[in-house]
Structure 1
């Protein structure tokens, strides 16, 4: 087992952060969750303004950087905020910055993905020893997309869209493992155990929810859709977690309602 460390976690209240904080704690680390707003037991700091960052990183051995802003402030928070965070980390002598990114950001033409690539470049150039973990999408994202699509009628999916969803717990466990080793200075990937099309995922999702909505298969136009159909969101290294889409459906809804896909 690795030595106990003080670990600052940005984005600690998010989907992944909510799994990472207890995983790090269970591994014996002293966890310092960070939020923009003060709360008991947390440190308050703002990536977008830089307020509180020097205090947040002081005494930290490592940083797990999860915070992101996919909306209007994404460059200010993701790119420039990461630059501010790692400048403070360099001043404080932080030994390992682990940045969580996304599989496919260099293959799928999406604005947010370009921002993530730019943020990776900031991490690489920061002077702080680093590891980048690129993960595929969480199954909850597919769940949310299906829910939004089916809200007003049939479930509409591009049957050729290929994804490889990875459970947040698998990502959290990989983060703990990576922190137990020296910073690699490279990017590594983690994907789910199954590469599936949305067409394959749709009917088990409906069955798990007890829904009889029809599924409309629609091939979407454009370069973004083409890149996803060609596997832009699928892992390339063979490194996978263990939780399947059916596992997620059982966890979320209590039953898949059908045989595994």
Structure 2
């Protein structure tokens, strides 16, 4: 049975991808710095940032789903001034290059890279790093695919929760369509095994709303009462910050439904 390596398999999107690949009956190996708890996958100890363990992780691998990334904003759930000046590249650029090099040595048949919608016009350092990594994949001699996704609901939840202490929320009026990781995972796994290659349809959420409406739905779901101060952004500035509307596949789970599923009450009941 063919073996699939998933990078980033312990993250939000990665866990959903692993669930679906296992559910489809494929053998799965997860690259991680330390083994996880689940026993229905193989674990390969390795680090994209240093290259340690990558050659062993790719042994006998047929398909790579590269979902690993290193976003300081996502990890801390908020933006700091430093994020407008630099972002680390060890995982997304150098790590991607190492992974492809070892993948070529191992005879990998398909390298699927998960990327972000709107990178070509985005100006944040993290976006430029992601674009550099994607360009390496596109220039690779490996048989490759690229799937771009919109920002995830859980990231929007983190960013909005970081405003909870403020009596007034400054929120851009720009429109975009964030998406749930479950919908992205469905699309990514389809693209990994349908025998097609190249730049695949990008994926976003089912609703295109301005960020003010997303914030109001968040406040309603979390029973918060804060004044929202709408901030107008030019289209150029909005695109530079990654606020775009995807033009490809649409997911099914709405923001309101995601908020209900991930309410504090629902999580405590689970």
Q: TM-score range by the shorter chain?
A: 0.7 to 0.9
Question: Equivalent residue for 1:235?
Answer: 246
Task: Give ranges in structure 1 of 5+ residues lacking alignment.
Answer: 256-261
Do 1:109 and 1:223's aligned partners in 2 also have CA atoms closer than 8 Å? no
Query: How many pairs were matched up?
Result: 248
Report how far residue 155 of structure 1 moved.
2.7
Question: Equivalent residue for 2:96?
Answer: 82
Matches within 5 A, 1:68-217: 68-71=69-72, 74-158=88-172, 160-217=173-230
Do 1:208 and 1:254's aligned partners in 2 also have CA atoms closer than 8 Å? no
Partners of 1:78 and 1:254 lie apart in 2 by 33
2:257 counterpart (233, 247, 256): 247
Task: Give ranges in structure 2 of 5+ residues lacking alignment.
Answer: 73-85, 266-270
Question: Equivalent residue for 1:20?
Answer: 17
After TM superposition, the score normalised by the length of structure 1 is 0.87
User: For the structure 1 residues 73 and 92, does the alpha-carbon distance in structure 2 shift closer, same or farther, using more than 3 Å as the test?
Assistant: farther
Partners of 1:35 and 1:9 lie apart in 2 by 9
Q: Secondary structure at the match of 1:150?
A: coil
User: For the structure 1 residues 153 and 222, does the alpha-carbon distance in structure 2 shift closer, same or farther, using more than 3 Å as the test?
Assistant: farther
Do 2:87 and 2:129's aligned partners in 1 also have CA atoms closer than 8 Å? no
Q: Secondary structure at the match of 1:131?
A: strand
Do 2:69 and 2:92's aligned partners in 1 also have CA atoms closer than 8 Å? yes
2:7 counterpart (4, 7, 10): 10
2:28 counterpart (28, 31, 35): 31
Report how far residue 223 of structure 1 moved.
5.3
